[in-house]
Structure 1
Amino acid sequence: MGLDKKAAPRAVALAACLFACVAAVEARADEIVQGVLQLRWGDAPHATKSGASPPAQFEAWLDAGPGRRHRLDVAQAKRAAGDLYALANRRVAVSYGMRANIASAGKVMSAAPAEPVISAIVPADRVPQRALAAGQDGRVMAAAPMVGSTRWVTLMCKFADMGAEQKPRAYFQSQYGNAPGQLGHYWSEVSQGAIDLDGSSAHGWYTLPKPRSAYVATVNGRPRADLSLLFADCTALADAAVDFSGVQGVNLMFNAELDGSAWGGGACATLDGAYACTRATWNPPWSFNNLAPLAHEMGHGYGLPHSDNSDGDADTYDNPWDLMSDAWRRAATDATYGLLPKYLNMYQRDRLGWLAPGQKRTVAADNRDTHEIVLDAAGPGDAGGTQMLVLAMPTQPDPYRTVVYTLEARRRQGVYESALAGDAVIIHRIEDYGIARSVDTDTPAADFSGNEGSMLKVGEQWSTPDERHWVQVVSETARGFVVRVGPRTRAMSAPTPALLQGGTAQRAGVAVGAPPPPVVARSAPPPVRRSRGCEAVPRVLRLPMVCALLVR
């Protein structure tokens, strides 16, 4: 791997600052390589009744130029970068070091050779300074805002040994339209006008130079698509006819199954005569026949990771409140475009710069007051009210252990949200630099969070596991809900409704949804609905990026 001499001093300084922040086991920084960080997520189609969905796939690559692509160990990359997802499709500097093998007793195994490891991954591009400011949870955020025109190009490519063309070019072109139920309209609405797909276009069908077997190999008994080769060959066929200048992403459509998954992330190839990197998706027919999975892959192109629920299992596709988890269930349907995408969770939208400062509000970790807040659901005709409420928690030395909770109102309304499970306040636990897990108050947590336990409704309340904050839904408004938030030193002056499993509220002589009694000070915390499943998620100690991000 080569060393970029001009960038080395700056990257070394960033890496040195990172090393100064925490104790590291790496002996020295042997090499620094610059390139574009490519993160790729693979998603299988929705599972049938016969079984669960295959696990999601995730891989990381560093593209240092033509013929110089290096696969990164994902666990090492996450530890070294901190907020790895915020660096997707950006130029980064990767520092490699050597780590001695450690025996189980903690002693160095002198006979075993040292292992090369990734010691730091830091941004090497220029990012607006506001992107490096502290986020709503108090942690430094590295995500670059995604605003303005994000032009995508669709390329339809068919394998040399398969002639089927499932959809005409006009269908793919119309997917980018600005009418309700089309991608242009969806991304404009979910971003609240921050981005559009103006100028996006579709081209093809092009016949690839090789049969499908040349692109899909069997690795360890399973099919594996060569995504980089598919991207290079498909874009080469379209290069003469397509203007790639300024393109933000390329959606590749194939006329047959790939390796059982659709993929989203980034890719590099020669475009318009120059080597360039862009966002990319790879879609078999079941993906482009429905806008929901296609939008899910585009979300990965924008750098969004998977979301999840709080049951602690390995299935990431069980949160139907979020496009980046379960794109299939609780989705509205269109006669032309199949299943339509739902909204993203508010935290991810904020990371991309799609919420105005007045649309988010944070309750400090040391809050001592009770607040009553009108929480509006996002949607058509947004009035600019509060749409995300953040419950801050104490900052931990290891940023991965710093957790916050977010609240957002969801309503069955409009084109994309009409098939949701209900109208409610949805709580997400945010950890590991942006992984959002919907909170389920059932015990144990349900496998699928389209349940009553995932919805906080009028008359119900919940507290954070440490009882630092408690939240009660007071009433419903035309656009959302009124919520009351208080610290653990305050409680209700009279017993609140007993909350049964599944969200059923019941108390003698008090109707469900009746206004709660006044708030008064008391030493004991209020009765709460507790989320135990989300506390069972294991964590791995990872190196923080705070110092490295601040040295710019």
Structure 2
Amino acid sequence: MQIMSVTGSQKFAVLLCKFRDTKDTELHPVCFYADLFATNGSGGLNDYWRSASLGAINLDGTDVFGWQTIDDTLANYIATHPDCTDKLQGAIDAFKEVDASKYTAVIPLFNASLGDGGETTGGIVGNPADVNVTWLAHETGHIFGLEHSFDMSDRKAISWSAPGEYYDSYDIMSAMNVDGDSGHQFSPRGPLLNAANLIRMDWIEPDRIWTPRKTNSSATYDVDIVALEQPEINGFLAAKVGGVIIEFRINTGFDAGLARPAVLIHQPAEPNSVIVASDLVHFVNE
């Protein structure tokens, strides 16, 4: 497994964009987006990544700019900016005061739908429906280097996806098919990253990963694993044995949307993680 190492503050420039013909629509006040992206203790994206990375990263230093009117109509902007990279650059060009080089990535959020969005080179393009922690965590996960997660089935989430892609409901990198929470101002939120992706990012300390003392002989072990949402409890957060990674998840915190507690097994495939099915016929992955 290729190990990536992203640590410390990951600052984003969030650009709130509207058009000449949508200038009267500001979906939320600027303070809402500051809480969503940057404020500690708000239950937003900064809190999410502190929890999901086990404290390895945060979004401190993220800045929110706008609302600013782009000198164009919505329809013409879409016509003259056909892909996400174009749409991102158009927003950057409109915010002359923002030095994109000072940030990990730029995230323009538009007050009307552009028809497409998501992660692209240099940032993320967001539409009105994308203002929630689950979608934003998934797309910023791509910025940090993570790929989509899979299960072992031949299901296809949409026509262009690969078999099994987006079907690890316990991992944020399957965000098209996960159980996020409800009832929070930034819902849906969660779930966390699976342990295979945490190990890929080098976000679990080695002494919190259990491995067998003997690798060339059979043995029986009794191992206690702490839930990933509760790393403050002493103990192992994962077990790595026989080419698979074992973890325990409970439905609390950013995992509150999970249907139930579960023990999960993952294969650390490259560059994706694959959840091992307990019942492949009925698509049971826990």
Normalised by the size of structure 2, how large is the TM-score?
A: 0.86
1:151 corresponds to 2:1: no
Alignment-derived partner of residue 246 in structure 1: 102
Alignment-derived partner of residue 438 in structure 1: 275
Distance 1:238 1:384, change over 3 A: farther
Alignment-derived partner of residue 51 in structure 2: 189
Matched ranges for 1:6-17 at <5 A: none
Alignment-derived partner of residue 127 in structure 2: 284
Distance 1:443 1:338, change over 3 A: closer
Alignment-derived partner of residue 407 in structure 1: 246
Alignment-derived partner of residue 119 in structure 2: 264
Cα RMSD between the aligned structures?
2.4
How many angstroms apart in 1 are the aligned matches of 2:271 and 2:215? 18
How far did 1:287 drift?
0.5
Preserved contact between residue 19 and residue 73 of structure 2 (Cα < 8 Å): yes
Give, as a single letter, the amino acid of the residue that structure 2 aligns with 1:299. G
Distance 1:428 1:144, change over 3 A: closer
Give, as a single letter, the amino acid of the residue that structure 2 aligns with 1:212. L
Distance 1:327 1:375, change over 3 A: farther
Give, as a single letter, the amino acid of the residue that structure 1 aligns with 2:259. A
How many angstroms apart in 2 are the aligned matches of 1:180 and 1:426? 29
Alignment-derived partner of residue 161 in structure 2: none
Matched ranges for 1:353-368 at <5 A: 353-363=202-212, 366-368=216-218
SS in 1 for 2:151: coil
How far did 1:328 drift?
6.0
Matched ranges for 1:301-340 at <5 A: 301-315=143-157, 316-326=165-175, 329-340=178-189
> Could you list the per-position Cα deviations for residues 239-265 of structure 1 after superposition, in whole angstroms to 9, with x for gaps in the alignment?
32x354531122210112223x43114
How many angstroms apart in 1 are the aligned matches of 2:126 and 2:197? 23
SS in 2 for 1:334: coil
1:294 corresponds to 2:143: no
Matched ranges for 1:450-469 at <5 A: 453-455=284-286
SS in 2 for 1:154: strand
How many angstroms apart in 2 are the aligned matches of 1:323 and 1:257? 23
Give, as a single letter, the amino acid of the residue that structure 2 aligns with 1:282. V
How far did 1:365 drift?
6.7
Preserved contact between residue 334 and residue 340 of structure 1 (Cα < 8 Å): no
Preserved contact between residue 157 and residue 252 of structure 1 (Cα < 8 Å): yes
How far did 1:335 drift?
3.5
Give, as a single letter, the amino acid of the residue that structure 1 aligns with 2:78. V
How many angstroms apart in 1 are the aligned matches of 2:71 and 2:223? 59
How far did 1:366 drift?
4.2
1:369 corresponds to 2:219: yes
How far did 1:329 drift?
4.2
How far did 1:204 drift?
0.9
Preserved contact between residue 17 and residue 110 of structure 2 (Cα < 8 Å): yes
How far did 1:202 drift?
0.8
Alignment-derived partner of residue 232 in structure 2: 382
Alignment-derived partner of residue 207 in structure 1: 69
1:169 corresponds to 2:30: yes
Distance 1:186 1:444, change over 3 A: same
Preserved contact between residue 264 and residue 297 of structure 1 (Cα < 8 Å): yes
How many angstroms apart in 2 are the aligned matches of 1:144 and 1:319? 21
How far did 1:370 drift?
2.5
Give, as a single letter, the amino acid of the residue that structure 2 aligns with 1:203. F
Preserved contact between residue 328 and residue 339 of structure 1 (Cα < 8 Å): no
How far did 1:383 drift?
3.4
How many angstroms apart in 1 are the aligned matches of 2:71 and 2:218? 67
Preserved contact between residue 152 and residue 200 of structure 1 (Cα < 8 Å): yes
Q: Which of residues 91, 97, 100 in structure 2 aligns to 1:234? A: 91
Matched ranges for 1:59-70 at <5 A: none
Alignment-derived partner of residue 391 in structure 1: 241
Bigger share in strand: 1
Q: Which has the higher contact order (CA 8 A, sep 6+)?
A: 2
- Structure 2: give runs of 5+ residues left out of the alignment: 158-164
How many angstroms apart in 1 are the aligned matches of 2:58 and 2:12? 10
How far did 1:207 drift?
2.1
- Structure 1: give runs of 5+ residues left out of the alignment: 1-138, 219-223, 268-279, 393-403, 447-452, 456-552
